[in-house]
Amino acid sequence: EAQVTQNPRYLITVTGKKLTVTCSQNMNHEYMSWYRQDPGLGLRQIYYSMNVEVTDKGDVPEGYKVSRKEKRNFPLILESPSPNQTSLYFCASSLREGRDEQFFGPGTRLTVL
């Protein structure tokens, strides 16, 4: 089944404790991205990647890092999480930029205390 998976689905952590949210897709998509969703603010793009070893900042990259060492994986790294990073995070992929359909993962609900 074609899908985007994220882990963990739920995470409660404390300020400053480094964490990684994994994202993997099995569709051989070139393009992947991370969004965060907050009430009243909609979906905002954090980082995106056009292909392996090619990443760039989205609208709200501060406090986040990403890497794209393999085509299928695009982890989101929070080196020193803060409470304002409490949010619902989605990973998305599409065949390439400009392709019509983006596939979204199930989401990761992160709480930083």
Least Å from the CB of residue 49 to another protein: 8
Kind plus residue range of the DSSP H or E element containing 85:
none
Residue 12 lies near another protein (rule: CB under 8 A): no
When binding is defined by CB under 8 A, the residue of 71, 72, 86, 104 that contacts another protein is 104
Among 10-18, 20-28, 29-37, 68-76, the segment contacting another protein (CB under 8 A) = 29-37
Q: Which is nearer to another protein, 17 or 26 (CB)?
A: 26
For residues 23 and 33, what is the distance between their CA atoms, to the nearest angstrom? 9
Do residues 107 and 91 touch, judged by C-beta distance below 8 A? no
Buried b (16+ CB within 10 A) or exposed e, 86-99: bbebbbbbbeeeee
Residue 39 lies near another protein (rule: CB under 8 A): no
CA dihedral 70, 72, 78, 79 (to 10 degrees): -20
Site residues, another protein (CB under 8 A): 4, 31, 33, 35, 42-43, 45, 48-50, 56, 58-59, 88, 90, 92, 94, 97-107, 109
